[in-house]
Chain A
Amino acid sequence: MNMENMTNEDEELGSLAQEVRKKSLGQAKGIMIFIGVITLGANVFVGAMSESLVRTEIDKEVKIIQNSGQEVDMEYVEEIVSASTRQLQLISALFTALGVAFIVMGFAIYKAPVGITIAALILYLGGQAITAFLDPTMIIRGVLIKIIIVVLLVKSVSAAIAYQNEAQVKSIV
């Protein structure tokens, strides 16, 4: 009788723990979709506005050179604008793909929880590092939110491993 009670208690606690892990994975799912939508939206905008963004920056440089009394070859400037615009469009396209990957991973999190949570953590940190590399001022912007996201993703990796192990044990027993 005692043993039966113990087993039931164990099972109840086990399913409760599994529910908590599911909640943590659900949280990770929300974060991934959030990151994905933000990345996608921002980069579609940058991609669409790339020419005007590049032109504004290069015009500033040209004005500085002209103010110092030097002549500027406008034909060469147009070439630079064209090449830089295409480069920016390519980078935006890569980050857009990253945004889509985050959304897909968010929806597929229960299919391969461990792999997806680790991939999300690596891609998020990698993406942030590349952004900081391209524009160092990005490190400080929203640093608190970034730290919270990283902590939650690390916790979700741990929860995903525990969730997978529990599922493995259930399938064996």
Chain B
Amino acid sequence: MSEFDQGLSQNDSDLNNEDHNFTELQIVELHVPCWRCGHHWVAGTEWCRHCQAKLTKQSSQRNEEQFILLNGRMHPLFVGLAFSAAMFTISMFMRLLSETPYFQNGDEVAGMVFMGIWEVMDFLLVLASVLYIGADKTCSLMKFSKTTCFGWAALLLLPLIMLINYAYHGIVAEWIGWDVLDFGYVDYHNYFWIILILYCVQPAIVEEVFFRGVMGYCFETVTSPRVSIVLMAILFSLAHVADPISMPYFFFIGLYLGLLRYLSGGLMVPILAHFLHNGAVTWIEILQQ
């Protein structure tokens, strides 16, 4: 038996003998990462379950110091916030670009190429965040079979959400004096399939994977699902800075989609809800044309 194995069995016996009461309790993981390996500590133990590092006063202090940068890897919370900041920056940059005379007076194709570039940048950013956090954490949520009946039931609230959408934007349009939902240069009839992908399919998948999947995981490492829903909604509304007047509504729908994420136990229902929401808005635009 190697020294390391002897150490392991010694630690196990220490745990079993000295913390006898604890072994009878349910194992509770803390949100404090081990200073050596980064795995979470178990409440009531002095040893890391993964690498057997001892939690001393010094290492406990070190845990807090190394919270932001842990063993050369950032804490998931700060990784998530950094990716959100990048998405926010892209959104602001593209909004500024869209206000240049070229895109204001440009043709439909130029407008759609612009939208396409924006969507591709978002997609690549979200893909990077999924790979950095760990693809398994998001992929495990992408199963219809795991969806609960509460999730499907909550989907029935979508018409009410749509009603709130049009009521809010109607009141704002009345107050300001211009149509805030006017998308301008888009010809829905000639470019239906491209618009379906750019406005409905891509945002539904990419935004849900990022805000409800990646960010949901990042927030869950430090806080409860309820607080996570609110934080995800705040980030979701900030990411839509390109449309500042609609940000309160984006916060509201962010709460609804976050609720769907936790009620359904996965990402498939929020993706479906997001797709149906954007699809309904696009369909109403087509009818108006």
- Whether A168 sits at the interface, judged by CB under 8 Å, is yes
For B177, B223, B224, B244, which residue has the most chain A Cβ atoms within 10 angstroms?
B223
Give Cα A13 to B223, complex, Å. Answer: 25
Chain B residue nearest to A134 (CB atoms) is B244
Looking at chain B's contact residues, the main secondary structure is: helix
Provide the B57-99 mask, 1 if CB < 8 A to any CB of A, else 0.
1000101100110000000010001001100100010011000
Taking CB atoms, residues of chain B closer than 8 Å to A94 are 247-248
The B-contacting residues of A in range 157-171, CB under 8 angstroms, are 157-158, 161-162, 164-165, 168-169
Interface residue from A87, A121, A129, A162 paired with B64 (Cβ < 8 Å) = A162
Distance in angstroms between the alpha carbons of A86 and B174 in the assembled complex: 10
Q: Is B241 a contact of A83 with CB atoms below 8 Å?
A: no
Kindly provide the distance from the CB of B39 to the nearest chain A CB, expressed in whole angstroms.
Answer: 15
**Which of B107-115, B154-162, B228-236 forms contacts with chain A?**
B228-236
Find the residue from B64, B172, B245 having the highest chain A CB count within 10 A. B64
Complex Cα distance A112/B225, Å?
12
List CB contacts (< 8 Å) of A37-55 with chain B: none
Query: Does chain B have a CB within 8 A of A1?
Result: no
B244 cross-chain contacts in A, Cβ below 8 A: 91, 130
Q: Which residues of A contact B30 (CB under 8 A)?
A: 165, 168-169
Q: A13-B57, A133-B95, A172-B44 are in contact. Are A126 and B238 (CB under 8 A)?
A: yes
Residues of A75-100 at the interface with B, using a CB-CB cut-off of 8 Å, are 79, 82-83, 86-87, 90-91, 94
Residue B280 interfacial (CB < 8 Å): no
Within 8 A of A (CB), among B129-164: none
| Contact between A90 and B172, CB atoms less than 8 A apart | yes
Quick one: which of A138-173 are within 8 Å of B by CB? 154, 157-158, 161-162, 164-165, 168-169, 172-173
A130 pairs with B31, CB closer than 8 A: no
A119 with B231: CB separation less than 8 A = yes
Main secondary structure of the interface of A (DSSP, over half): helix
Chain B nearest CB, measured from A153 CB (Å): 11
Q: How far is the CB of A81 from chain B (nearest CB, A)?
A: 11
Docked Cα-Cα span, A128 to B241, in Å, equals: 12
Instruction: Kindly list chain B residues whose C-beta atoms are within 8 Å of the C-beta of A162.
Output: 32, 63-64, 67
A122 interface residue (CB < 8 Å to B)? yes
Complex Cα distance, B43 from A118, in Å, reads 24
Interface size class of B (residues with CB under 8 A): 35 or more
Nearest residue (CB) in A for B21 is: A173
Residue of B at shortest CB range from A159?
A: B64
- The residue among B172, B176, B248 with the most chain A CB atoms within 10 A of its own CB is B176
Total A residues in contact with B, Cβ cutoff 8 Å: 35
- Contact (A129, B172) CB under 8 Å given A86-B177, A162-B64, A165-B30: no
Question: Does any Cβ of B come within 8 Å of A72's Cβ?
Answer: no
Q: How far is the CA of A117 from the CA of B158 in the complex (A)?
A: 31
- The reply to whether A10 and B57 contact each other, CB–CB distance below 8 Å, is yes
Is there a chain B Cβ closer than 8 Å to A123's Cβ? yes
B176 in contact with A87 (CB, 8 Å):
yes
Could you tell me the distance between the alpha carbons of A129 and B227 in the complex, rounded to whole angstroms?
A: 23
**Known A126-B88, A133-B95; contact A90-B235, beta-carbon cutoff 8 A:** no
Q: Is the CB of A114 within 8 A of B95?
A: no
Alpha-carbon distance between A126 and B224 when the two chains are bound, in angstroms: 22
Residues of A within 8 A of B57 (CB): 10, 13
B170 to chain A, nearest CB (A): 14
Determine whether the beta carbon of A82 is less than 8 Å from that of B44: no
Q: How many Å lie between the Cα of A133 and that of B197 in the bound state?
A: 29
Is B178's CB within 8 Å of the partner chain A?
A: yes
Q: Is the CB of A118 within 8 A of B178?
A: no
A94–B168 Cα distance when bound, in Å, is 14
Q: Is residue B121 within 8 Å, beta carbon to beta carbon, of the partner chain?
A: no
Q: Which chain B positions have C-beta within 8 A of A83?
A: 176-178
CB pair B92–A118 under 8 Å, yes or no, is no
Which residue from chain B places its CB closest to the CB of A169 in the assembled complex? B43
A162 CA / B227 CA spacing, docked (Å): 17
Q: List 20 A-B contacts (CB under 8 A).
A: A83-B176, A86-B175, A90-B245, A112-B227, A114-B223, A118-B219, A122-B235, A122-B238, A126-B238, A129-B238, A130-B244, A133-B95, A161-B31, A162-B63, A164-B222, A165-B30, A165-B32, A169-B44, A172-B44, A173-B44
